Amino acid sequence: MQNIFEILKQSETTLAENKIEEAKLDAEVLLCGVLNIKRSELFLLRNKQLTLSEYKLYQNYIQRRIKREPLSYILEKSEFMGLNFFVNRNVLIPRQETEILVEEVIKNIKQNNNLKTLLDVGTGSGCIPISICKYCDISSVAVDISVSALEIAKQNAISNGVENKIVFKKSDMFNNISEKFDIITSNPPYVTEQEFKTVQKELLFEPKNALVASDDGLFFYKIIADNLSKFLNVDGVAFFELNSNISKQIKAVFENKGYKNITIIKDYAGLDRVLVIKNG
């Protein structure tokens, strides 16, 4: 059997021939997943041979990647805010852009000792409340309509050591919520049906109901705007991820409900990414 170096080169070529943009990186990351090692360790093992079971698993991973399945689903893990999260096709893959929202929340908590409770709406993998609870002294309620997503979020809370700080509830948006919170966060579905027609093939593996929103992407923002004052404490703060293509329309949804203290935070590419609303 070929050694690791030869297998890697062959896999890189195969991925490149199938128009996978980061062919070399993907080939290496997938092999590291098989061997459960860091990329920095691969070079030291270049002359090593894989066992038959390792080789078969790696070839399975390569074939899945050729079909455009995201690396995070193949390996069932994703890194977010320096933490490791289990993911599968029941939840969205955590994204770097969402880290901007989390960082903004953490900054606000450190500036205001009165922010002690958090509600995360549509929690998915739980990456938002888990990260905030990991780095801050705060308690959280996290809700999702998907029981499968909630099970994954609970698993991630345990693996990151914050299970005692978060209560997970099945809820269609705010339907199963009765109390008020100092902070409300959400990364709601916001891709329009028109946008979804042109997305990368990798996105088609992710749950469509966690990505796409009707009413030209505004459906869930309108629900949030209708309910925000009922569940956000006076002097509380809300943080919502934005579809940068319709950020002005999203902001208008909240302005039309009487919210005045609204700020938009841009992402690393200079695009509108997080809407911040201060209540009072």
Domain identity same for 122 and 192: yes
Domain identity same for 116 and 161: yes
Domain identity same for 37 and 151: no
Domain identity same for 110 and 239: yes
What is the structure's pLDDT at 89? 96
Is pLDDT above 90 for 46? no
Domain identity same for 59 and 176: no
What is the structure's pLDDT at 209? 93
Percent of the chain with pLDDT over 90: 94
Is pLDDT above 90 for 237? yes
Domain identity same for 188 and 92: yes
Read off the tokens for 205.
């593996």
pLDDT-derived band of residue 2, with 50, 70 and 90 as boundaries? confident
Average pLDDT, the chain: 96
In which domain, by residue range, is 140 found? 79-278
Read off the tokens for 56.
């078969």
Is pLDDT above 90 for 197? yes
Q: What CATH number does residue 245 fall under?
A: 3.40.50.150
Domain identity same for 250 and 186: yes
Domain boundary among 67, 88, 107: 67
Evaluate whether residue 272 is within a structural domain. yes
Evaluate whether residue 73 is within a structural domain. no
User: What value does the mean pLDDT take over residues 235-239?
Assistant: 96
Domain identity same for 85 and 63: no
* Domains held by the chain: number: 2
What is the structure's pLDDT at 43? 86
Domain identity same for 49 and 99: no
Evaluate whether residue 74 is within a structural domain. no
Domain identity same for 53 and 121: no
Predicted TM-score (pTM) of this structure: 0.93
Domain identity same for 225 and 89: yes
Evaluate whether residue 72 is within a structural domain. no
